Amino acid sequence: MVSTTTLEEELRRLAGSVPDPELPVLTLEELGVLRAVHVRGTDTVEIELTPTYTGCPAIEAMSLDIERVLHEHGVREVVVRTVLSPAWSTDDISDEGRRKLREFGIAPPRVRHRQASAPVTLQLGPTRTVTGSGGPEAPYPPAGSPEPDTPVRCPFCGSAETELLSRFSSTACKALRRCLVCLEPFDHFKEL
């Protein structure tokens, strides 16, 4: 295990406090994309950042925001490296991040408990449209998906009776759903 210095811990706290540009209710630490902070020499800091998906357009804004915050705190040179392995997963979102998503009106992703070193599997199958007792999910969920009886709960009333309106919402990582009890539409941060 690599030990971190007190300075690296402080710089990680600063870099991790940067809000996500697409979901400003979350910090980069809560989103789980900040992987490591390394002090190199006397005036250089290297940051390891993993995008939520390859080609994520927000990675550039995240990098610039981290550089700005660290420069404001006296770091002369900041190098932000994109690290793709291990791949980011929605399991990397902290409990605090999940709580904040719910309070913001976004259903957090369901936990899959994927091992960090395990590959991300993809299996195409039928679209799941209704959760809870409102109807069955797809009979064979993709490998690594939450259990089929794990509902997407409404962030407003907590009901498990929700339906999929669109696979995509304001960003590619979210789907648009509606609660069948309170009838409120809401975003669901999709599992990955």
Please tell me the predicted confidence (pLDDT) of residue 54: 83
The model's pTM: 0.79
**Strand 174-179 to strand 162-166: parallel, antiparallel, or no bridges (unpaired)?**
antiparallel
What would the pLDDT profile of 87-137 be if each residue is shown by its tens digit? 999 999 999 999 999 999 999 999 876 555 555 555 555 554 444 444 444
Select, from the ranges 25-39, 42-56, 161-175, the one with the highest average predicted confidence (pLDDT): 25-39
139 confidence band (pLDDT: 50, 70, 90): very low
Q: What share of the chain is helix, strand, coil (3-state, %, to 5)?
A: 25, 20, 55
CA atoms within 13 A on the CB side of 4: 14
Residue 2 has pLDDT above 70, yes or no: no
Residues in a beta bridge with 162: 179
120/141: higher pLDDT? 120
Q: Give CA–CA dist 179/77, Å, rounded.
A: 48
Superfamily of domain 6-82: Fe-S cluster assembly (FSCA) (3.30.300.130)
Residue with tokens 């291990």: 86
Output DSSP code: residue 188. Answer: E
150 confidence band (pLDDT: 50, 70, 90): confident
Q: Give CA–CA dist 129/131, Å, rounded.
A: 7
Q: Where are the domains of the chain?
A: 6-82, 104-192
Give the Cα-Cα-Cα angle 21, 32, 161 (nearest 5 degrees).
85
What would the pLDDT profile of 40-77 be if each residue is shown by its tens digit? 988 899 999 999 988 888 999 999 999 999 999 999 99
CB-based contact 29:94 (threshold 8 Å): yes
**Strand 185-189 to strand 106-107: parallel, antiparallel, or no bridges (unpaired)?**
parallel
Closest CA to 51 of 59, 63, 43, 60: 59
**Strand 77-82 to strand 106-107: parallel, antiparallel, or no bridges (unpaired)?**
unpaired
Q: Give CA–CA dist 41/191, Å, rounded.
A: 39
Please tell me the predicted confidence (pLDDT) of residue 57: 86
